[in-house]
């Protein structure tokens, strides 16, 4: 195992906002999802629940996204509506992630941390394959309509967000990060 290659992959990964409208290999994406099952998981609760969206559901989610945006502000222009819909319709895959809700509050937090770790591992796998990803927790990802579209009982599962995956139109530049010395505190 090579530390430098792992470090390079971690630093190379970017959040992708705009995707090409072309498919990716579902088998390769499933391999990346499997990496997520290796995230740290206190008490081995295995809280991951992945919901793959098909074309019909994605179209409904795109409409929901526009509808929610229209409630906050005046109806967006046709160009903005088109751009918003592309964010859901263009990527190769859109998965929604959920976790069981019928657990103690502390376990709920532990399980959310597990899902967060899984998302990062999946994103690293996708990056290694040349695919981009975005973790979204926008209002559409946890809206009651989304539960309905996915057939999820909200008393049993909590939606946490969407993992959007596919071919980047134009990868963004490397963002700045703080120096370790700015965020590391040591005690004596």
| pLDDT score for 156 | 98
Q: Is 150 domain-assigned?
A: yes
Q: Is 13 domain-assigned?
A: no
CATH code, domain carrying 109? 3.40.109.10
Total structural domains within the chain: 1
Q: Is 77 domain-assigned?
A: yes
Q: Is 1 domain-assigned?
A: no
| pLDDT score for 171 | 87
| pLDDT score for 74 | 77
| pLDDT score for 71 | 85
The model's pTM: 0.95
Using alpha carbons, select from 175, 135, 107, 105 the residue that is nearest to residue 36: 135
Q: Is 46 domain-assigned?
A: yes
Convert the pLDDT of each residue in 134-164 to its tens digit: 999 999 999 999 999 999 999 999 999 999 9
Q: Is 187 domain-assigned?
A: no
Q: How is residue 12 written in tokens?
A: 């190379």
The number of beta carbons lying within 10 Å of the beta carbon of residue 119 is 20
| pLDDT score for 75 | 79
Q: Is 2 domain-assigned?
A: no
Q: Write out the DSSP string of 147-159.
A: HHHHT--TTTEEE
Q: Is 4 domain-assigned?
A: no
Residue span of the structural domain in which 114 resides: 19-170
| pLDDT score for 14 | 96
| pLDDT score for 103 | 96
Q: Write out the DSSP string of 36-77.
A: HTTS--GGG----EEEE--HHHHHHHHHHHHHHHHHHSSPPP
Q: Confirm if 150 and 49 have CB atoms less than 8 A apart.
A: no
Using alpha carbons, select from 186, 124, 134, 135 the residue that is nearest to residue 160: 135
| pLDDT score for 70 | 86
Mapped onto helix, strand or coil, the DSSP state of residue 2 is: coil
Residues in the chain with pLDDT < 70?
none
């Amino acid at each position: 195992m090579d530390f430098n290659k792992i470090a390079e992959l971690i630093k190379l990964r970017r959040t992708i906002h705009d995707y090409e409208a072309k498919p990716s290999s579902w088998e390769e994406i499933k391999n990346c999802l499997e990496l997520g099952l290796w995230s740290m998981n206190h008490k081995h609760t295995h809280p991951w629940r992945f919901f793959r969206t098909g074309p019909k559901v994605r179209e409904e989610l795109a409409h929901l996204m526009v509808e929610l945006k229209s409630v906050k502000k005046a109806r967006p222009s046709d160009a903005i509506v088109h751009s918003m819909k592309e964010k859901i319709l263009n990527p190769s895959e859109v998965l929604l992630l959920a976790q069981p809700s019928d657990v103690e509050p502390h376990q709920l937090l532990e399980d959310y941390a597990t899902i967060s770790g899984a998302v990062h591992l999946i994103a690293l796998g996708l990056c290694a394959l040349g695919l981009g990803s975005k973790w979204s927790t926008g209002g559409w990802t946890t809206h009651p309509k989304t539960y309905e579209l996915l057939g999820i009982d909200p008393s049993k599962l909590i939606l946490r967000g969407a993992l959007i995956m596919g071919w980047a139109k134009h990868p963004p530049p490397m963002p700045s990060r703080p120096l370790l010395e700015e965020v590391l505190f040591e005690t004596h």
